[in-house]
Structure 1
Amino acid sequence: MAIKHLRAAYAAQLQPGNPARLRLGEPLGEPGGDYEGLQKQMKRLFNSKPGKKYGRFSEDTGESPFSAWLKDYLEDRQSFASLTDRLFKQWQDLLTGSQEEHQGHLMVVHEALADSDVVYLLVLETDSALRFDGQQALDTTDVLSLSRLNLAVRIELDDWLSEQGSENYLTLVHARGTGEIGDHFIRLCGFTNLVDVEKETLTFLDAVEAFAKSSEPEKAGEVRNRAYEFCKEQHALGEPVEIEALSGYLDEDQPQRFKQFASETAEIPESGVLHPDHRKVKKLVRIAGSGGGMSVSFSSDLVNQAIYYDRDNDALTITKLPKALREQLQRYLEGREES
Structure 2
Amino acid sequence: MAIKYLRTAYASQLQPGQPASLRSGAPLKEPGGDYEALHKQMKRLFNSKPGKKYGRFSDDIGECPFGGWLKDYVEEKQSFESLTDRLFGQWQELLNGTQEEHQGHLMIVHEALADSEVVYLLILESDSALRLDAQQQLDATDILSLSRLNLAVRIELNDWLGDNQGENFLTLIHGRGTGDAGELFIKLCGFTNQIDVEKETLTFLDAVEAFAKNSEPQDAGKVRNRAYEFCKEQHALGEPVAIDALSEFLDEAQPERFKEFASQSAELPESGVLHPDHRKVKKLVRIAGSGGGMSLSFSSDLVNQAVYYDRDTDALTITRLPKALREQLQTYLEGRE
Question: 1:23 and 1:198 mapped to 2: Cα distance?
Answer: 40
SS for the counterpart of 1:89 is helix
Match of residue 274 from structure 1: 274
Describe how 1:86-235 pairs up with structure 2 within 5 A. 86-235=86-235
Match of residue 33 from structure 2: 33
Gap runs ≥5 in structure 1: none
Deviation at 1:28, TM superposition (A): 0.2
Deviation at 1:78, TM superposition (A): 0.8
Match of residue 288 from structure 1: 288
Letter in structure 1 aligned against 2:78: Q
Question: 1:22 and 1:332 mapped to 2: Cα distance?
Answer: 60
Deviation at 1:10, TM superposition (A): 0.1
Q: Deviations over 1:192-223 (max 9, x none)?
A: 00000000000000000000000000000000
Question: 1:96 and 1:327 mapped to 2: Cα distance?
Answer: 60
SS for the counterpart of 2:203 is helix
Q: Deviations over 1:148-207 (max 9, x none)?
A: 000000000000002422110000000111111100000000000000000000000000
Matched pairs, number: 337
Bigger shift: residues 174-183 or 279-288: 174-183
Q: Deviations over 1:32-83 (max 9, x none)?
A: 0000000000000000000000000000010010001001111111110010
Q: Deviations over 1:74-100 (max 9, x none)?
A: 111111001000000110111110001
SS for the counterpart of 2:295 is strand
SS for the counterpart of 1:111 is strand
Taking every aligned residue pair, what percent have the same amino acid on both sides? Answer: 80
Letter in structure 2 aligned against 1:112: A
Q: Deviations over 1:243-300 (max 9, x none)?
A: 0000000000000000000000000001100000000000000000000110000000
Gap runs ≥5 in structure 2: none
Match of residue 303 from structure 2: 303
Letter in structure 1 aligned against 2:258: F
Letter in structure 2 aligned against 1:116: S
Question: 2:245 and 2:272 mapped to 1: Cα distance?
Answer: 10
Letter in structure 2 aligned against 1:270: E
Matched, 1:322 2:317: no
Describe how 1:77-88 pairs up with structure 2 within 5 A. 77-88=77-88
Letter in structure 2 aligned against 1:82: S
Note the aligned Cα RMSD (angstroms): 0.5
Match of residue 333 from structure 2: 333
Give 4+ residue runs of structure 1 displaced > 4 Å after superposition. Answer: none
Normalised by the size of structure 2, how large is the TM-score? 0.99
Match of residue 16 from structure 1: 16
SS for the counterpart of 2:9 is strand
Question: 1:154 and 1:207 mapped to 2: Cα distance?
Answer: 29
Normalised by the size of structure 1, how large is the TM-score? 0.99
Q: Deviations over 1:7-48 (max 9, x none)?
A: 000000111011111001010000000000000000000000
SS for the counterpart of 2:61 is coil
Letter in structure 2 aligned against 1:130: L
Question: 1:18 and 1:74 mapped to 2: Cα distance?
Answer: 35
Question: 1:80 and 1:91 mapped to 2: Cα distance?
Answer: 16
